[in-house]
Amino acid sequence: MNERRRMTGFVTSNKMMKTVVVEITRTYRHPLYQKVVHSSKRVKAHDELECNIGDQVRIVESRPISKEKHWVVEEIIKRETRTADAGVGELSNDTN
């Protein structure tokens, strides 16, 4: 395997063509105060695998593809199964 950085995260947006936004969360202990710190970072990644919102993906570092995009989706670890109509029907029944 090569020396490229690999990270896992969740897809938060797929509205662009062949580009997804992946949120990478990291949990670590602060070196001085020993408090648990949660940090997250959002990166744009090139997508040829047709990812959906909520999918857990592994991204790999690549050459710069555009101004903000230098990651590529390597594989989809876990697919998110959601229906688009689930939340809409519940919302309209509550207002009646």
Residue 70 has pLDDT above 80, yes or no: yes
Residues ≥6 apart with Cβ < 8 Å to 48: 18, 72, 73
Compute the mean pLDDT over every residue in the chain, rounded to the nearest whole number: 89
The band of 56, judged by pLDDT with boundaries at 50, 70 and 90, is very high
In contact, 77 and 67? CB cutoff 8 Å: no
User: Does 95 have pLDDT greater than 80?
Assistant: no
Reported pTM: 0.79
Tell me the average pLDDT across 49-77.
Answer: 96
